[in-house]
């Protein structure tokens, strides 16, 4: 097999560019993570870009690889594929464009449904096995894909052959790309029997900056030679026949009578290797929805009527009713599902209950149930909430004012018109309006995932106070920030804010440009683009992508009307004329708010100060101390390890009596952070010493000491803290046990004697507390302070 290799100078230049990209704030930012190759002392750097930065002409990434590891900034050790996209996902993957810009042969490989594993080697025979972005024993989840991949590799090949493989891959500068498919390790959506489980080889990439991959027929031969499982593939020379084949398969969701997720197509574009994918929408999406709604039902512990269903709601409701009854009869199935197992078994039991074997039949049942309800004239009203995803200055209020002017029955609710102290928040007002109207324009920026999630969760919690059980709510995302980078977003929106001056409820750029600039930067820095491949954005029923630029608001109004009329014709039975649109748009431009929100006097006040703690270092520390302890294994197994760790230093709830003046001193010394609610990082740091692990039947926590607080120049800062028992909650075993219980149990344990207790078991008010002291001094240096408001 031939070899390709970049010069050392080219790789050094790439690594320099990667290092520079880690300093970027938004577009094109790279995250670097250093870990050690398993069973060696060789350090390897992983480089990760945000998924939404790939495939954009306006963002020039140093490399398009999705999965990249380097050694000593001079050698590419592992290289994944260039990120590839679904048909119609990007302009360059539109069907017509693919037919024009690509050339064959078109190798069509089956898209296996597992987790990706990269395999490479060092010249001495050491194997490198990685998940997408890490290698070695460092995953802080219950499943380490890299270690499981290596374990499976050694089982399939044998120890001697693994060493030979490492040398071969190193000699030819290759990365083997495989899919680990094993339902016993981790279930996905499609089933793999015991004999079908294993590592499926589907690619051999050269470890070069430019994407170069070995032809599929040689990959298949390589799989035979080295005992990998093989992926099925077909070859087409005619692009028209290729798409005829793909469309035919999509009608059944099957290939050779087997349900599959879709295909990856390998071809040439601009004389270079090029991949795109063709994913089947059904029944794969229905199966995935079954998995997600089951998690909502049992892990979030909510009633069936509160479960969010994006589509196919009738069959999904029937499935949930079946699952609820099944879990009541067989609680072990429920426990397995929480642990990530039995997902496929539960679905197959449902199919069996309906005397069906084909998932596509479920879609037919869903459709017939829908028609049946229509024929019975049962009321199942549909209400619509239009949710912008935007930052300040995107034109959302102008667009929404125009729409509400054109459609008087559409209710426009502006978050900027709601006083901060008002008991009725925007979600309450939305539900009150939906009780009487069909459409609400939910005028808030919703720039972060947490804000979008809050809409779904709060509506689900409160909807029954306002709406009938049969009423459905469809959420339509109006994506104002689409396909623009950080610099463009800032330039466009800031110019708009300056142009409108004080004509806004809260952002007064004429009166206080400094404050307006600060608030805008805060919004843009926190902005998280819409991503329907992940929660909560996967909950939107439809997305309308707008254009952001100079004078684009009128065009955006037209686009929204056009798309809504096509997707939901009942909303717009008669489209407004161009004259009507222009007239209402002019009125919207002349809109002047009659309410002013005080952004200076009503700033959120600090609730507590804390130290943000490095998550991976805590996981490593806990593993070192109690790695084999049943409680630790159990906490990981039920996925109850906290995703973020911190030490609470001072809480406003303790600012009473003599502590009141201390609290004021702390606020004056550390500051209040950004003028926003939530978490703000401060320019102060602390060294934290881990002293003990405490384990109870309810939780696991760490007792810690604060060794000192200092600023960014390492000047010591004298600052008291009000918390008398500093600790880190690792996790609680049940949702009803709150992290605050950690401090309470430690307070009780040390109520009579503050001397550090030796290893052992202690009784505290009827509960057993197991103490394990850290064997070696464990200090986390320069952990950043934050304030929460």
Bridge partners of residue 388, in order along the sequence: 478
Segment 162-207, tens digit of pLDDT? 999 999 999 999 999 999 887 666 665 566 667 778 899 999 999 9
Instruction: Give me the pLDDT at residue 506, please.
Output: 43
β partners of residue 471:
none
Q: Which domains does the chain have, with CATH numbers?
A: 8-279 (3.30.470.30), 284-375 (no CATH), 382-589 (3.40.50.300), 608-788 (3.90.1740)
Counting as low any pLDDT under 70, the low residues of the chain are 1, 25-26, 138-143, 183-193, 300-303, 305-306, 310, 357-359, 366-380, 419-424, 498-516, 519, 591-603, 677
Note the pLDDT tens digit of each residue in 372-431. 554 444 445 789 999 999 888 888 889 999 998 999 889 888 887 776 655 567 888 888
Rg of the chain taking only CA atoms, in angstroms: 29
645: three-class secondary structure by DSSP: strand
Active site residues: 111
Determine the Cα–Cα distance for residues 541 and 535; give it in Å rounded to an integer: 13
The answer to whether 441 and 383 have CB atoms below 8 angstroms apart is: no
Q: How far apart are CA 650 and CA 607, in angstroms?
A: 9
pLDDT at residue 596, as a whole number: 42
H or E stretch at 495:
helix 486-500
Q: How many CA atoms lie within 13 A of 26 on its CB side?
A: 16
Strand order in the sheet with 382-389: 410-414, 439-443, 382-389, 472-479, 542-545
Helix (H) or strand (E) holding 499: helix 486-500
- CA angle, 86 as apex, 81 and 87 as ends, to 5°? 130
User: Which phi-psi region, left, alpha or beta, contains residue 102 (left: φ > 0; alpha: ψ -120 to 50)?
Assistant: beta
Q: In the prediction, which pLDDT does 380 show?
A: 58
Q: Which backbone phi and psi does 768 adopt, to 5 degrees?
A: -90, 130
pLDDT number for residue 225? 94
pLDDT of amino acid 717: 80
CA–CA separation, 525 and 213 (whole Å): 37
pLDDT for 138:
58
Query: Is there a contact between 282 and 259 (Cβ–Cβ < 8 Å)?
Result: no
- What is the structure's pLDDT at 474? 92
What is the Cα–Cα distance from 576 to 407, expressed in whole angstroms?
A: 9
Over residues 551-570, the pLDDT tens digits come to 888 999 999 999 999 999 98
Cis preceding linkage at 458, omega within 30: no
CA distance 748 to 698: 15
Burial of 761 (0-12, 13-18, 19+ CB in 10 A): exposed
Contacting residues for 456 by C-beta, under 8 A, at least 6 apart:
308, 475, 536, 539
Nearest to residue 424, comparing CAs of 470, 396, 458? 458
């Amino acid at each position: 097999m031939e070899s390709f290799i970049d010069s050392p100078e080219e790789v050094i230049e790439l690594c320099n560019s990667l290092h520079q990209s880690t300093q970027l704030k938004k577009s094109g930012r790279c995250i670097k993570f250093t870990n050690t190759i398993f069973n060696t002392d060789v350090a390897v750097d992983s480089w990760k870009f945000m998924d939404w930065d790939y495939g954009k002409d306006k963002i020039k990434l140093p490399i398009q690889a999705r999965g990249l590891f380097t050694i000593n900034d001079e050698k590419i050790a592992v290289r994944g594929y260039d990120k590839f996209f679904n048909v119609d996902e990007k302009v360059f993957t539109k069907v017509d464009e693919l037919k024009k810009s690509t050339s064959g042969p078109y190798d069509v490989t089956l898209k296996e449904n597992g987790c990706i594993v990269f395999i490479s080697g060092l010249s001495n025979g050491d194997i490198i096995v990685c998940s997408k972005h890490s290698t070695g024993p460092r995953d802080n989840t219950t499943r380490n894909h890299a270690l499981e991949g290596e374990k499976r590799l050694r089982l399939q090949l044998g120890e001697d052959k693994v060493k030979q493989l490492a040398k071969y891959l190193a000699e030819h500068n290759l990365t083997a790309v495989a899919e680990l498919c094993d339902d016993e390790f981790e279930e996905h959506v499609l089933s793999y029997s015991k004999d079908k489980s294993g590592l499926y080889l589907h690619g051999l990439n050269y470890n070069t900056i430019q994407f170069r991959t070995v032809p599929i027929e040689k990959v298949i031969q390589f799989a035979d030679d080295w005992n990998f499982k093989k992926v099925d593939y077909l070859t087409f020379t005619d692009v028209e026949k290729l798409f005829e084949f793909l469309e035919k398969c999509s009608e059944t969701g099957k290939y050779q009578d087997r349900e599959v997720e879709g295909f990856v197509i390998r071809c040439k574009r601009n004389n270079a290797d090029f991949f795109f994918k063709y994913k089947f929408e059904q029944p794969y999406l229905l199966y995935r929805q079954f998995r997600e709604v089951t998690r909502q039902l049992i892990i979030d512990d909510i009633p069936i009527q509160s479960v969010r269903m994006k589509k196919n709601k009738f069959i999904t409701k029937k499935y949930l009713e079946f699952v609820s009854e099944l879990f009541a009869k067989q609680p072990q199935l429920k426990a397995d599902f929480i642990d990530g197992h039995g997902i496929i078994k539960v679905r197959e039991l449902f199919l069996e209950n309906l005397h069906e074997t084909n998932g596509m039949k479920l879609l037919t049942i869903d459709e017939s149930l829908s028609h049946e309800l229509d024929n019975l004239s049962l009321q199942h009203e549909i209400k619509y909430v239009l949710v912008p995803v935007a930052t300040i200055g995107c034109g959302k209020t102008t667009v929404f004012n125009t729409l509400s002017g054109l459609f008087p029955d559409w209710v426009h609710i502006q978050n900027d018109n709601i006083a901060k102290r008002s008991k009725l928040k925007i979600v309450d007002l939305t539900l009150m309006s939906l009780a009487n109207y069909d459409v609400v324009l939910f005028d808030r920026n919703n720039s972060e995932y947490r804000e979008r999630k809050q809409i779904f969760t709060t509506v689900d919690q409160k909807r029954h106070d306002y709406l009938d059980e049969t009423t459905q709510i469809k959420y339509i995302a109006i994506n104002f920030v689409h396909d623009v980078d950080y610099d463009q977003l800032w330039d466009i929106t800031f110019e708009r804010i300056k142009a409108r001056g004080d004509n806004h409820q809260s952002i007064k750029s004429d009166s206080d440009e400094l404050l307006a600039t600060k608030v805008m930067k805060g919004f843009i820095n926190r902005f998280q683009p819409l991503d329907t491949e992940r929660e909560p954005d996967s909950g939107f029923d439809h997305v309308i992508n707008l254009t952001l630029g100079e004078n684009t608001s009128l065009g955006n109004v037209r686009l929204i009307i056009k798309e809504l009329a096509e997707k939901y014709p009942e909303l717009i039975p008669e489209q407004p004329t161009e004259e009507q649109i222009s007239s209402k748009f002019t009125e919207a431009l002349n809109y002047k708010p009659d309410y002013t929100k005080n952004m200076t006097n009503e700033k959120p006040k600090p609730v507590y100060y804390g130290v943000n703690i490095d998550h991976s270092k805590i996981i490593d520390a806990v593993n070192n101390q109690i790695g084999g302890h049943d409680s630790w294994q159990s906490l990981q197994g039920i996925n109850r390890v906290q995703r973020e760790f911190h030490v609470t230093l001072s809480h406003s709830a303790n600012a009473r009596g003599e502590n009141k003046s201390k609290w004021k001193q702390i606020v004056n010394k550390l500051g209040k952070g950004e003028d926003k609610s939530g978490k703000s990082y401060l320019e102060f740091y602390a060294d934290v010493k881990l002293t003990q692990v405490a384990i109870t039947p309810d939780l696991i926590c760490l007792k810690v000491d604060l060794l000192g607080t200092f600023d960014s120049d390492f000047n010591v800062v004298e600052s008291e803290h009000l918390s008398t028992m500093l600790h880190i909650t690792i996790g609680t075993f049940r949702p009803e046990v709150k992290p605050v219980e950690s401090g309470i149990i430690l307070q009780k344990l040390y109520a009579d004697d503050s001397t550090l207790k030796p290893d052992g078991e202690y009784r505290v008010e009827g509960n057993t507390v197991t103490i394990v002291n850290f064997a070696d001094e464990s200090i986390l240096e320069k952990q950043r302070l934050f304030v929460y408001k």
